[in-house]
Amino acid sequence: MSDASPALELGPPRRLRVEELALLRKLLANTRLEDTLDRQLSDVLVVDMSDGGMGSIRFYAPETKGRLYGSTIGEGTFLDQDGILVSVALNLDQFGNLFELDMWKVDFSPLLGYPDPRDFKITDPEQKPSPKRKRERRHA
């Protein structure tokens, strides 16, 4: 869904849903733009995309004409409630701004639900988990 055509959008601009926000934060974690883009998420407006109910959203930016796909900042997969694989990509526009959350259910059926972030698997090789600090336990 990387075409910037308004015909692919449904409904008025709206705020992110809680489950969308959780998925976006997981996709942004440990990326080069995590801090910059995470700050934008609380105020951003989105528009649902006409994708057959698979859950894709476009980040609303009325002041920017001619926005196009620029790059992908994060990718991942999860199994929908019916066990069907869903592929997810967080895309930026040509200016480096949030562009779309592209969700593709491999059998093209409507999305049944967003995953628990713990069940979402990052597949983008640029996203490497941050090292966990080991805590030493001292016994008295």
Strand-pairing partners, residue 88, are 76, 103
**Assigned domain for 109 exists:** yes
**Assigned domain for 139 exists:** no
**Assigned domain for 60 exists:** yes
Radius of gyration of the chain (CA): 16
**Assigned domain for 134 exists:** no
The number of domains in the chain is 1
The parent domain of residue 70 ranges over 6-122
> How many whole angstroms separate alpha carbon 17 and alpha carbon 94?
25
Which tokens belong to 42?
């609380």
**Assigned domain for 80 exists:** yes
Distances (CA, A) of 71 to 34, 79, 92, 99: 15, 25, 5, 9
Q: Do residues 40 and 60 make contact, with C-beta atoms less than 8 angstroms apart?
A: no
> How many whole angstroms separate alpha carbon 90 and alpha carbon 73?
6
Give mean pLDDT, residues 96-118. 93
Q: Would you state the pLDDT for residue 131?
A: 41
**Assigned domain for 133 exists:** no
Q: Do residues 102 and 89 make contact, with C-beta atoms less than 8 angstroms apart?
A: yes
Question: 40-54, 64-78, 108-122, 123-137 — which is least confidently predicted?
Answer: 123-137
* 38-94: pLDDT as tens digits: 888 888 999 999 887 788 999 998 776 788 999 999 999 999 999 999 999 999 999
Give mean pLDDT, residues 113-133. 71
Q: Would you state the pLDDT for residue 52?
A: 76
- pTM here is 0.79
Q: Name the band, by pLDDT with cuts 50, 70 and 90, for residue 136.
A: very low
Q: How many CA atoms lie within 13 A of 34 on its CB side?
A: 13
**Assigned domain for 51 exists:** yes
pLDDT reading at 130 higher than 80: no
* 5-40: pLDDT as tens digits: 444 657 889 999 999 999 999 999 988 888 888 888
**Assigned domain for 1 exists:** no
State the residue for tokens 């700050």: 39
